[in-house]
Chain A
Amino acid sequence: MKNDAVAFGKLIQDYRKQLFSYLLRLCGDRMTAEDLFQETLIKVWKGFKSYNERNKFSSWLFSIAHNVAVDSIRKESAKNIVHSFEDVQTIAGDNNPHKAFVEKETNELVMAAVNTLSEKQKQVFLLRQHSDMTFKEISEATNQPLNTVLGHMHYAVSGIRKKLSKEYG
């Protein structure tokens, strides 16, 4: 049992940052993201029996995370809770202060552009960027036709690009 817990910790460790970032960027609040992270891992831990080893673990993990996050967002929007997305980290890891400042600003702009996307566009875009899921897998995870998913991705990326080009002039 203790060995299982250690192995589980190690397995999740590989996806820890991608998963947490995905949840944080989707919901926009650190506390909520930590709760969603825990809820996702509880479902993964309890659902190991139902996991089909022929499927990619990351796809299964992110499908669960997606469902958990979407449920939470739906509940919060029903309560009219709006997050500011200020918790999303945009600080660059560079030692050069000037370069770090520029990178931070760029990152902030990118994240601000992502936050302007519609909920569906953001879900598809973030799933694609944070997990190793193919568009077919995303269409299954989000219960949307493949063409709809591809359309969301196109509008998400062009939306970010337009926003960034506006900012840069």
Chain B
Amino acid sequence: MDDTNKKLCKEFESEMWLLIDHSLGKERKKFWQAHLVSCSACSSLLKTSTETIEQYNQVPFDDLSDGSYKNIISTITAEDEQSKHIVIPIKENRTLFEIFGFYKLTFGGALVAAAIIFLFITFINDPKIPEIKEVLPKQILSWNDNQTADRLERVGDQIYSLKTDEWDIYFIRKNKQENWNKALSSIQKQIRKMQKEVTSASM
């Protein structure tokens, strides 16, 4: 047997099982079938291996008793059924997390926080909030000492006088307009008078 054949026979030792398994491709199967025709060592190996396997297959299977088998099956399936019906006892003093669960409680908390922020923003920035009155009634002012009350009254008066000044300015402006109109009409009268004098002199 030459080296190439030896190598092939060594390869056959492993691939023989794939040949028996029918897991070899068509080409490879043909190749080994051709080799088996020409190589007595490999065909002998295949024969004796198949016989040994058959001899092993003659040994009857072992078995467990029917009772043991039924016990095993019922134990497995019953165990699973029990685990599906586990009842969790309810504690008397349960925490909020235990009652509502972590996610529900977190979500609820977030909702409440959002509502508080919304209300806060709405009332603080409300433009309808009434302005502070400029003139405060004396009854309110009398709660504090007289000095403070006087100062506040003076401020009140100043605000009032400021308002009065505005009225004065208004009247002055109005008067100025009237005076201006009067001045204009007297100028116009003077011009007409001078025109008459010029015309009478020329005649």
Using CB atoms and an 8 Å cutoff, list the residues of chain A in contact with chain B: 1, 4-5, 8-9, 12, 16-18, 20-21, 24-25, 33-34, 37-38, 41-42, 45-46, 87-93, 103, 106-107, 110-111, 114, 129, 134-136, 147, 150-151, 153-154, 157-158, 160-161, 164
Contact = CB atoms under 8 A, between A and B. Distances in A.
Contact of B48 (A9, A92, A150, A161): A161
B4 interface: no
Interface string B61-80: 11110001110111111111
Given A160-B52, A161-B49, A134 B59 contact: no
Contacts of A1: 77, 81, 84
A17 B69 CA distance: 11
Nearest to A150: B14
Contacts, number: 105
Given A8-B77, A41-B73, A157-B49, A34 B55 contact: no
B128 to A, nearest CB: 63
Given A9-B73, A41-B73, A161-B48, A24 B62 contact: yes
A88 B76 contact: no
Interface string B1-33: 000000000000111111001010000000000
B53 interface: yes
Interface residues of B, number: 37
Report whether over half of chain B's contact residues are helix, strand or loop; otherwise say mixed. Answer: helix
B58 A4 contact: no
A106 B52 CA distance: 12
Contacts of B52: 157, 160-161, 164
B61 to A, nearest CB: 4
A18 B61 contact: yes
B56 interface: yes
B144 interface: no
Given A41-B73, A88-B62, A150-B14, A46 B49 contact: no
Given A5-B74, A134-B21, A157 B58 contact: no
A113 B16 CA distance: 22
B57 interface: yes
